[in-house]
Amino acid sequence: MLTKEAVLHILSGIDDPELKKPLTELDMVKFVQIDGGDVTVGITLTVPGCPLKEKITQDVTRGVGLIPEVKSVKVVFDVMTDEQRARLREKLGHGRAPGREPVTIVNFAKRFIAVSSGKGGVGKSTVTTNLAVALARMGKKVGLLDADVYGFSIPRMLGVHGQPTIIDDKIIPLRKGDNLQVVSMGFFVNEDDPVIWRGPMLHKAINQFLTDVMWDDLDYLFLDLPPGTGDVTLTIAQAIPAAELLVITTPQATATHVAGRVAKLAERTHLRVIGVIENMAYFESNGHREYIFGKNGGKELAKRLNVELLGEIPLQISIREGADSGRPAAQHGDDTQVRLFEEIAKAVERTE
């Protein structure tokens, strides 16, 4: 006999596509009606015009349809009231229920790693993207905050596009797979439009991305910083006292020298430098390595900073193509590339 309990059991195994928690746990199942073999499920959406309504319909229809006695499934939608959304925020840990502290900047991730470079063009965002993807593939819960507000590039490199859903001024980050959440200014403006802000607006935007986003409980939050030692780096240092700094450089003397300035800033702002990654370390052809941008620059910088060189990434066309096409080499590259970024990710884990 077809029962409401059987339908609810199926629904308890279906997650909201954005919040990644069961529909039943989020109180999104409004009702279940059974008429013979015909089932109607009422779902309460978080906001009107939810972009993933079709996905929810497909998942519920497919799941409930697996019950042998079910002949047809219909999904109807309603929208949460302000009170229901407030309860949802409390359930997700972003509310202000009595006796519960509101989420602050420093309690949603085990580690906050700011990724920096002294100058542009060293592949910092490419390395950050692949590192985040590698850790997510290894089962870690990872957030990636594109803190380069003026020069955002993470959406293109990850192949993640769209506008995040906002629930009562809280932003639900977009996702790359189950384990990687992403927030970028690129989700709120056209890719080709410039962001023309002065320092105070920049400071406000970064703080909002930290405090007004419904991040999961993360193992890592990576912050892809703009090059240099400007406002964003100072904002991160002030907002997240426990933040760590990962320095990306090329072997070129100019790049390593300028990257050293970032490390000096970290010292003054009490950010711990956890290591150096050398990008474009060499170009290999027919088993022969050409050191186009010099040799051992990353190793010398790491020695100067008294930290470990966590990895050397070769100059390869396919890594650049993967970034341009939204197919990161850490996931879509050949076996050698996937292993390389996993090894660097493990090296970052060991710096804890």
Q: Look at the alpha carbons of 247, 250, 254, 255 in this order and tell me if their dihedral is positive or negative.
A: negative
**How many CB atoms sit inside 10 A of residue 31's CB?**
12
pLDDT of 156 reads 93
What's the CATH architecture for 109-349? 3-Layer(aba) Sandwich (3.40)
pLDDT of 118 reads 74
Q: Report residue 127 as tokens.
A: 């390395």
85: confidence class by pLDDT, cuts 50, 70, 90: confident
What are the pLDDT digits (tens) for 273-283? Answer: 999 999 999 99
96: confidence class by pLDDT, cuts 50, 70, 90: very low
Distances (CA, A) of 174 to 12, 165, 183, 287, 298: 23, 9, 7, 41, 33
Asked if 315 and 283 touch (Cβ cutoff 8 Å), the reply is yes
- Across the chain, mean pLDDT equals 84
Q: Is it the case that residue 199 has pLDDT exceeding 60?
A: no
Which residues are registered as beta bridge partners of 33? Answer: 40
Long-range contact pairs involving 94-99 (C-beta distance under 8 Å, separation at least 24): 94/170, 94/214
The residue extents of the domains of the chain are: 4-91, 109-349
Give domain 4-91's CATH superfamily. Fe-S cluster assembly (FSCA) (3.30.300.130)
Which residues are registered as beta bridge partners of 222? Answer: 113, 144
What are the pLDDT digits (tens) for 6-37? Answer: 899 899 999 888 787 888 888 889 999 999 99
pLDDT of 61 reads 93
Q: Is it the case that residue 98 has pLDDT exceeding 50?
A: no
- Of the listed ranges 76-85, 91-100, 131-140, the one predicted with least confidence: 91-100
Residue whose structure tokens are 């990895």:
311
Dihedrals φ, ψ of 100, to 5°? -115, 130
pLDDT of 191 reads 56
Asked if 246 and 252 touch (Cβ cutoff 8 Å), the reply is no
Say what the pTM is.
Answer: 0.74
